[in-house]
C-alpha cells in the first residue's frame, strides 16, 4: 500500500541497507528491522526522550524522524555506547550513582548526556538539569542522574 | 566496573550498587515491546471519542477488507466470551466490560478491537472503523453528579454514588449507628474551629513505559503464556485463566522488565482481549499502548475533594477533625478503585494524637477514566488535608509551623497507638525526627532569610509538612488483594543460592537488596545469590509489588524461608562436624562450630553433602530448599518531615523551589542508595501535583491533557537538589524492622510545597490554595484577583 524506499544508514559503525515504508519511523527501523531494542518508545510525540539516539553525533528523538530522513547518516544507539569490558564514563556514572531505577528512560538519558558532555565537558549542575529537559524520568527525581553526569564529567576530564 | 561491597561488614545497611543496572545501562533489558514471537499479530483498540453515549452502530466493513487485517471485533461480540474486568473490592460495582458493548462512559472507553499483521496496518484499520454514538450529557463535576445530574453514568447507581461510608469517632463499626454527641460537644467547646474545602487534583501515573501485553496461546498444549506489564503477575494469572476458559495451572504470566508502575500496572480489559484473541486465532498477539492512549486508558489517581473542619484549643491542641470526602472515581471500578479512597480515613490523624476523627466518604461515578491505586493511594489525600489544616491552625493561632505539630505529636511511649482513624501505628519518635529536620534545614536561619527577602519585596515562603505513610500491606483481613507474600530459598548443590520472591520488582532493586539480606543470613557473598521474580512459572506464589510492601512483607518472607533452609543446613553441618545444632554458625563462606575454629567446613561442602549425603541424619530428607508465606499482623507506618523554601516570581507567578530538606524514617534501611532513590522519585511525584501535573477534562468530557505536552510531569530543571537524612525506628512487626519507603516523598512533598507557596503569598491575604499552583493562578493573585 505505502511506497517503499531504499535507505542506506550506518548504525553503530555497521552499514545497513534496507527497503522501508516511507512512513516507517526511525525508531521502529532500529527496533523492529535491526533488532536494536535498547532504544525505547515512551511518548510518540518527542517529549520524553526515551528514544534518543545520536544522528551524525547529535542527539535526536528517533520517534519523530522517518527512517528515510536518516538516509546517509551515521546513527549511534545505546548498543553502540561502551561495552562490558569498558563502559562509557556516562554508563559508569549511571551505575555508580544509582542513576536509574526501572531503566526505561536510561538509554535515552545516556545518549543525551554523552552528546551534552561533548559540547560542555565542565557543566554546572544547573546546566546539566537544563540539558536534561528533553528527557523525562519518572523514577529517580533526577538527582542521581545529575550525579551520574557529574561523575562522568569528572572521569572524562581525568 | 564491579559491585564491590565491603564483605567484611554486614551487607544490610551498605550502599551496594545495583546488580540490575549492568544490563539496563546497555539497553539490554527486555521490556514488553521487546518481546517478539514468530507469527505475532498486533492488536489495537478503537476507543470512544465522546465521554458518554449509546453505541448505535459500528461499521467495520472497510477495516476488515484492508490489507493485513485479520480480525475486527466489537464489544457486543466480546461480551459473551469474556467475563467483566476484575474487581477485588467487596463493594457493589457496575459490570465493566473489556470492550464496552452498549454504552461509552469516558473518552477512551474501548468500543472495538483490530488485529493485524503489523502495528501500522492495525492503526490504519482503526481509522476506517465507523462508530456512531448517540451522545448523552457528560457527567464531569462530581458534586453535581451526586444529585444525579446531568445524567447517570450507570443506571443502577442512583445519583452516581458508588459508595458512601461514615467512619471514625462515634460510629459503631458493627451496626453503622452514628453517635454524634461527643464530636458535636468537642466542636462546640473548641476555642478555634477552622473550616476549609480542599482539593487533590486528578493525576496520571505516567510511567515512562506505557502498558502492553503479549499473549501466546498454544493449541494442543492448551497453554497460555502472557507477558504483561503488571505489578502483580500471580493476580494477573488468577484472573486471566478463567477469562479464557483455562485453569491457573495452564497459564504462565511473565512480568518482564517494566518501565515503572506506580500502582497503575495491573490487569486490565486489554489483557483479556489479547488472551482470548490469541486463543481464537492461534497466533501470538501483542498490544502496546501508545502515550495518548495511556492518558485515557490507564487508571488515574487522586481526585478528591475534602471539606475539612479542625477544632482546637488556643494553645494549639487539636480536639477533633471532621472531613467530608468526595472522591471522583471516574466511569468504572477497576481492581481496587473503590478501596483506595477508604485509605484516606485511616490517615486523617496524621502524626497527631487527635481525640476525635469523623469522616464521611462519598465515591462518585463520572464520565472520566477510572481511578485506582497511584503512588500513595489515598494517603497523599489525607496528609494534604491534615497538613494544610495544621498550617491553617498555626496561622490562625500565630504559632510556628513546627510548634503546632510538636504540641500534637503522638508521644513515643504511646505506641502501638490506635488512632480515631482506625489505624494502629506501630512505632515512631516524631519529635526527634522533627528536631533533626529543623536542625538540618536551619529553620530559624531560613525564617530570618525569608524576612530579609521579603524586606526586599521578594515573595519567599517556607513550608513544612510531617507525613505518615500506611504500608507493609497486609494483613489479609484488611486488604482485599491479599496481605501476605511468598518466598523460596534454595541452596544449590554447588553452594550458591537461588531465591524467588512474589514481590515483582520494576525498578525497586529487589535483586540487589534481597540478595543483601540473604548474604548476611548465610554468610556467603551476594555474588553467589540470585533473586528471581516476575514469572509465575518460576515463582510459586505472590501478591506483588504495591503499596511500599516489598521489603517489609516480601523481604520478611524471604528471611523466613532462609531461616528454614539454614536450620536444615545446620542439622547437616552438626551431623558432619559432630557438634550440636545450636552451636553451628555461618560466616564468610564457612559453617563452623562456635568456639571451635578448627571445626569448620566450607558452606559449599555442606550444600554438596545435602544433595548426595553419605549418611543422612535421623528424620531428614536430602536437599536444601524451603518456602515461606509471611502474613504480617499489622501495618507499618513510616514517617518523615519535609521543609521547602519557595519563591514566587512577582512578575510571572512562577514558583522556584529553592530548597527541599527532609528526614525520613522507614525503619531498618537495607540499602541507603536505593532508599535515597525511592525518596527522590517520590518527592518528584509529590512536587508535580503541587506545581504542574493535573488531568483536566473539558465540560464536554474531552480529555484536555492527553499528551506529555499538556500533562506536565517534573523535569530535572524544575527540581531542587534534595537534602536528606534519616532516623531509624524499626518496626516491631517484622524481623527485619523495615517499614517501607516507596510512597513517602509523594505523600509529604505536595503539602510542603503548597504550604511554602501559600506562605510566600501571605502579603496578598492568601489563606489557602489548592494545587495545582501554576503560574497563571498565582499571577492572578499577585495582580489582586481574589483566590
The strand ranges marked E within B366-411 are none
Q: What kind and span of H or E run contains B453? A: helix B443-455
Nearest Cα residue to B107 out of B47, B64, B35? B47
- Contact assignment for B673 to A139 by CB distance below 8 Å: no
Mean pLDDT of B613-634: 94
Residue among A103, A130, A144 whose CB faces B680 most closely: A144
Chain B residues in contact with A142 (beta carbon < 8 A): 680, 684, 714-716, 719
- Measure CB to CB from residue B291 to each of A23, A43, A101 and give the nearest one: A43
**3-class secondary structure for B618-640?**
CCCCCCCEEEEEECCCCCECCEE
CA distances, B388 to each of B181, B399, B621, B630, B661 (Å): 27, 14, 60, 37, 18
- Residue B480 pLDDT greater than 80, yes or no: no
Contact B681 A101 (CB under 8 A): yes
Q: Could you report the per-residue pLDDT of B286-303, keeping only the tens digit for each?
A: 999 999 999 999 999 999
CB proximity A129 to B under 8 Å: yes
Residue B613: helix, strand or coil by DSSP?
coil
C-alpha–C-alpha distance, residues B496 and B526, integer Å: 9
Q: Does the pLDDT at position B3 exceed 60?
A: no
Q: How many beta-carbon pairs under 8 angstroms link A with B?
A: 192
**Residues B213-232, mean pLDDT to the nearest whole number:** 97
A39 shares contact with chain B (CB less than 8 Å): yes
> A91 contacts in B (CB within 8 Å)?
25-26
A119 in contact with B, Cβ within 8 Å: no
Most B CBs within 10 A among A54, A90, A94, A141, hence the mutation to make, goes to: A141
CA contacts within 13 A on the Cβ side of B205? 28
- Given pLDDT bands bounded at 50, 70 and 90, which one contains residue B477? confident
Q: Give the minimum alpha-carbon distance from B123 to chain A in angstroms, rounded to a whole number.
A: 13
CA–centroid distance for B782 within its chain: 36
d(CA B769, CA B761): 10
Torsion of the alpha carbons at B50, B53, B56 and B61, rounded to the nearest 10 = 30
**B156 and B165 Cβ atoms separated by less than 8 Å:** no
Q: Is B683 on the interface with A (CB under 8 A)?
A: yes
Residues B691-701 pLDDT 10s? 999 999 999 99
Q: Do A98 and B676 touch (CB under 8 A)?
A: yes
B535-582 pLDDT tens trace: 999 999 999 998 889 999 999 999 999 999 999 999 999 999 999 999
Question: Binning pLDDT at 50, 70 and 90, where does residue B2 land?
Answer: very low
Mean pLDDT of B641-658: 98
Checking if the pLDDT of B639 tops 70, the result is: yes
At B786, the pLDDT band (50, 70, 90 cuts) reads low
pLDDT tens digits, B749-773: 999 999 999 999 999 999 999 999 9
Query: How close, in Å, is residue A91 to chain B by CA atoms?
Result: 6
Confirm whether the ipTM is greater than 0.90: yes
User: Average of pLDDT values for B73-100?
Assistant: 95
Task: Give the dihedral of Cα atoms B248, B254, B255, B257; nearest 10 deg.
Answer: 170
A chain contacts of residue B677, beta-carbon cutoff 8 Å? 98, 101, 139-141, 144
Q: B309-356: per-residue pLDDT in tens?
A: 999 999 999 999 999 999 999 999 999 999 999 999 999 999 999 999
Interface test with A, best of B15, B23, B24 (most A CBs within 10 A): B24
Q: CA separation (Å) from B392 to B379, B460, B772?
A: 20, 18, 18
Q: Which residues of B460-469 are buried (b: 16+ CB within 10 A; e: fewer)?
A: bbbbbbbbbb
Cα B45 vs. chain centroid, distance in angstroms? Answer: 27
Q: Do A96 and B262 touch (CB under 8 A)?
A: no
Q: Which of B97-101, B476-480, B545-549 has the lowest mean pLDDT?
A: B476-480
Each residue's pLDDT expressed in tens, for chain A with a length of 158 residues: 568 999 999 999 999 999 999 999 999 999 999 999 999 999 989 999 999 999 999 999 999 999 999 999 999 999 999 988 899 999 999 999 999 999 999 999 999 999 999 999 999 999 999 999 999 999 999 999 999 999 999 999 99
Q: Indicate yes or no: CB of B507 within 8 angstroms of CB of A42.
A: no
To test the contact with chain B by mutation, choose from A88, A103, A125 the residue with the greatest count of B C-beta atoms within 10 A, namely A103
Could you give the count of Cα atoms lying within 13 Å of A18 in the half-sphere of its Cβ? 21
B35 has a pLDDT exceeding 80: yes
Query: What whole-number distance in Å separates Cα of residue B76 and Cα of residue B65?
Result: 20
Residue of A nearest to B684 (CA): A141
Q: Report DSSP letters for B678-711, one per residue.
A: HHHHHHHHHHHHHHT----B-TT--BS--STTTS
Closest CA to B332 of B239, B380, B378, B269: B269
- A74 forms bridges with which residues in the sheet? A10
Looking at the complex, does the CB of residue A127 fall below 8 Å from at least one CB of chain B?
no
A52, β-bridge pairs: A61
In the β-sheet with B722-726, what is the strand arrangement from edge to edge?
B459-468, B639-648, B655-665, B722-726
* Contact criterion met (CB below 8 Å) for B642 and B662: yes
Chain-chain contact of B258 with A102 (C-beta, under 8 angstroms): yes
Phi, psi for B738 (deg, rounded to 5): -90, 145
Q: What is the pLDDT of residue B1?
A: 44
CB atoms < 10 A from the CB of A91, how many? Answer: 28
| Strand pairing report for B485-491 and B625-630 | antiparallel
* Strand intervals (E) in chain A: 4-11, 14-21, 52-55, 58-61, 74-76
Closest-CA residue of chain B to A143: B721
Chain A residues closer than 8 Å to B713 by CB: 136, 138
Quickly list DSSP for B715-726.
PGGGSPPEEEEE
Q: What is the DSSP letter of A62?
A: G
Q: How far is A72 from chain B (nearest CA, A)?
A: 24
Q: How far is B235 from chain A (nearest CA, A)?
A: 21
Please, which pLDDT band fits residue B8 given cuts at 50, 70 and 90? confident
Cα B784–chain centre separation: 39
Q: Contact, B740 vs B443, CB < 8 A? A: no
Q: Say what the pTM is.
A: 0.97
Decide: B763 and B461 in contact? Cβ < 8 Å: no
pLDDT tens digit sequence for B698-711: 999 999 999 999 99
Point out the residue among A36, A139, A145 whose CB comes nearest to the CB of B507.
A139
Partner-chain contact A101 B507, CB within 8 Å: yes
pLDDT at B4: 61
Residue B327, CA distances (Å) to B383, B616, B687 in order: 15, 62, 21
Question: What's the pLDDT score for residue B527?
Answer: 96
Strands B285-288 and B103-104, bridge-based pairing: unpaired
Interface of B with A in 301-340 (CB under 8 A): none
The residues in A 7-26 lying below 8 A from B, measured between CB atoms, are: 21, 23-24
Average pLDDT for chain B: 96
Q: Is B317 helix (H, G, I), strand (E, B) or coil?
A: coil
Amino acid at each position: 500500500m505505502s511506497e517503499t524506499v531504499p535507505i542506506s544508514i550506518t548504525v553503530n559503525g555497521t552499514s545497513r541497507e534496507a527497503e522501508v515504508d516511507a512512513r516507517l519511523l526511525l525508531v521502529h527501523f532500529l527496533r523492529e528491522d535491526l533488532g536494536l531494542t535498547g532504544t525505547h518508545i515512551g511518548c510518540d510525540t518527542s517529549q520524553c526522550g526515551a528514544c534518543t539516539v545520536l544522528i551524525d553525533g547529535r542527539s535526536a528523538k528517533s520517534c519523530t524522524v522517518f527512517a528515510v530522513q536518516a538516509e546517509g547518516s551515521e546513527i549511534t544507539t545505546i548498543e553502540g555506547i561502551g561495552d562490558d569490558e569498558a563502559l562509557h564514563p556516562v554508563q559508569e556514572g549511571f551505575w555508580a550513582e544509582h542513576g536509574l531505577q526501572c531503566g526505561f528512560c536510561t538509554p535515552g538519558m545516556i545518549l543525551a548526556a554523552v552528546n551534552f558532555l561533548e559540547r560542555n565537558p565542565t557543566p554546572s549542575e544547573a546546566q546539566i538539569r537544563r540539558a536534561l529537559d528533553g528527557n523525562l524520568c519518572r523514577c529517580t527525581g533526577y538527582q542521581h542522574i545529575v550525579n551520574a553526569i557529574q561523575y562522568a564529567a569528572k572521569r572524562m576530564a581525568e | 566496573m564491579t559491585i564491590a561491597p565491603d564483605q567484611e561488614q554486614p551487607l544490610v545497611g551498605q550502599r551496594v550498587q545495583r546488580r540490575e543496572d549492568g544490563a539496563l545501562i546497555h539497553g539490554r533489558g527486555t521490556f514488553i515491546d521487546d518481546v517478539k514471537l514468530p507469527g505475532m499479530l498486533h492488536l489495537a483498540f478503537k476507543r470512544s471519542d465522546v465521554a458518554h453515549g449509546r453505541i448505535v452502530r459500528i461499521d467495520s466493513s472497510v477495516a476488515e477488507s484492508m490489507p493485513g487485517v485479520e480480525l475486527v471485533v466489537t464489544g457486543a461480540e466480546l461480551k459473551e466470551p469474556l467475563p467483566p474486568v476484575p474487581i477485588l473490592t467487596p463493594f457493589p460495582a457496575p459490570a465493566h466490560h473489556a470492550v464496552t458493548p452498549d454504552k461509552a462512559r469516558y473518552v477512551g472507553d474501548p468500543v472495538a478491537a483490530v488485529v493485524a499483521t503489523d502495528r501500522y496496518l492495525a492503526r490504519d484499520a482503526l481509522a476506517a472503523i465507523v462508530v456512531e454514538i448517540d451522545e448523552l450529557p457528560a457527567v464531569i463535576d462530581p458534586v453535581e453528579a451526586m444529585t444525579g445530574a446531568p445524567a447517570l453514568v450507570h443506571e443502577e447507581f442512583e445519583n452516581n454514588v458508588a459508595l458512601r461510608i461514615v467512619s471514625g469517632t462515634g460510629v459503631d463499626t458493627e451496626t453503622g449507628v452514628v453517635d454524634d454527641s461527643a464530636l458535636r460537644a468537642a466542636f462546640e467547646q473548641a476555642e478555634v474551629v477552622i473550616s476549609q474545602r480542599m482539593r487533590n487534583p486528578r493525576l496520571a501515573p505516567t510511567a515512562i513505559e506505557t502498558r502492553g501485553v503479549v499473549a501466546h496461546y498454544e493449541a494442543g498444549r492448551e497453554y497460555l503464556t502472557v507477558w504483561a506489564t503488571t505489578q502483580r503477575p500471580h493476580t494477573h494469572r488468577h484472573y486471566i485463566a478463567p477469562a479464557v476458559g483455562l485453569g491457573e495451572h495452564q497459564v504462565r504470566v511473565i512480568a518482564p522488565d517494566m518501565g515503572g508502575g506506580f500502582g497503575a500496572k495491573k490487569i486490565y480489559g486489554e489483557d483479556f482481549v489479547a488472551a482470548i484473541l490469541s486463543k481464537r486465532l492461534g497466533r501470538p498477539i501483542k498490544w502496546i499502548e501508545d502515550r495518548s492512549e495511556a492518558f485515557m486508558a490507564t487508571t488515574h489517581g487522586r481526585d478528591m475533594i475534602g471539606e475539612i473542619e479542625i477544632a482546637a484549643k488556643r494553645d494549639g491542641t487539636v480536639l477533633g477533625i471532621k472531613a467530608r470526602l468526595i472522591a471522583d472515581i471516574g466511569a468504572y471500578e477497576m481492581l481496587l478503585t473503590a478501596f483506595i479512597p477508604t485509605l484516606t480515613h485511616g490517615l486523617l490523624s496524621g502524626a497527631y494524637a487527635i481525640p476525635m476523627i469523623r469522616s464521611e466518604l462519598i465515591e462518585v461515578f463520572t464520565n472520566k477514566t477510572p481511578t485506582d491505586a497511584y503512588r500513595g493511594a489515598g494517603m497523599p489525600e489525607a496528609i494534604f488535608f491534615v497538613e494544610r489544616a495544621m498550617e491553617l491552625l498555626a496561622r490562625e493561632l500565630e504559632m510556628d509551623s513546627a510548634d503546632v505539630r510538636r504540641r500534637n505529636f503522638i508521644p513515643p511511649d504511646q505506641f502501638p497507638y490506635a488512632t480515631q482513624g482506625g489505624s494502629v501505628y506501630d512505632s515512631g519518635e516524631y519529635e526527634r525526627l522533627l528536631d533533626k529536620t529543623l536542625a538540618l534545614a536551619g529553620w530559624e536561619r531560613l525564617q530570618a532569610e525569608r524576612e530579609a527577602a521579603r524586606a526586599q519585596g521578594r515573595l519567599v515562603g517556607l513550608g513544612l509538612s510531617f507525613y505518615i505513610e500506611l504500608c507493609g500491606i497486609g494483613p489479609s483481613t484488611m486488604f482485599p488483594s491479599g496481605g501476605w507474600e511468598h518466598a523460596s530459598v534454595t541452596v544449590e548443590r554447588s553452594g550458591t543460592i537461588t531465591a524467588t520472591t512474589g514481590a515483582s520488582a520494576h525498578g525497586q532493586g529487589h535483586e540487589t537488596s534481597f540478595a543483601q539480606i540473604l548474604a548476611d543470613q548465610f554468610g556467603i557473598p551476594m555474588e553467589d545469590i540470585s533473586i528471581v521474580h516476575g514469572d509465575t512459572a518460576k515463582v510459586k506464589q505472590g501478591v506483588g509489588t504495591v503499596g511500599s510492601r516489598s521489603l517489609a512483607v516480601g523481604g520478611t518472607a524471604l528471611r523466613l524461608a532462609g531461616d528454614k533452609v539454614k536450620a536444615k543446613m545446620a542439622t547437616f553441618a552438626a551431623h558432619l562436624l559432630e557438634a550440636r545444632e545450636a552451636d553451628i554458625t555461618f560466616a564468610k563462606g564457612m559453617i563452623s562450630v562456635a568456639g571451635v575454629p578448627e571445626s569448620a567446613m566450607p558452606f559449599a561442602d555442606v550444600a554438596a553433602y545435602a544433595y548426595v549425603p553419605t549418611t543422612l541424619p535421623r528424620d531428614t530428607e536430602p536437599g536444601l530448599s524451603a518456602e515461606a508465606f509471611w502474613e504480617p499482623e499489622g501495618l507499618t507506618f513510616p514517617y518523615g518531615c519535609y521543609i521547602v523554601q519557595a519563591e514566587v516570581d512577582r512578575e510571572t507567578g512562577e514558583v522556584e523551589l529553592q530548597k527541599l530538606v527532609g528526614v525520613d524514617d522507614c525503619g531498618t534501611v537495607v540499602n541507603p542508595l536505593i532508599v535515597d532513590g525511592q525518596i527522590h522519585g517520590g518527592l518528584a511525584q509529590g512536587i508535580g501535583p503541587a506545581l504542574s501535573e493535573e488531568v483536566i477534562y473539558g465540560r464536554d468530557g474531552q480529555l484536555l491533557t492527553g499528551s506529555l505536552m499538556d500533562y506536565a510531569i517534573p523535569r530535572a530543571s524544575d527540581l531542587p537538589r534534595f537534602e536528606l537524612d534519616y532516623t531509624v525506628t524499626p518496626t516491631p512487626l517484622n524481623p527485619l524492622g523495615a517499614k517501607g519507603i516507596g510512597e513517602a516523598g509523594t505523600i509529604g512533598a505536595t503539602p510542603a510545597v503548597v504550604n511554602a507557596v501559600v506562605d510566600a503569598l501571605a502579603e496578598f491575604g492568601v489563606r489557602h490554595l489548592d494545587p495545582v499552583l501554576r503560574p497563571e493562578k498565582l499571577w492572578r493573585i499577585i495582580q489582586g484577583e481574589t483566590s
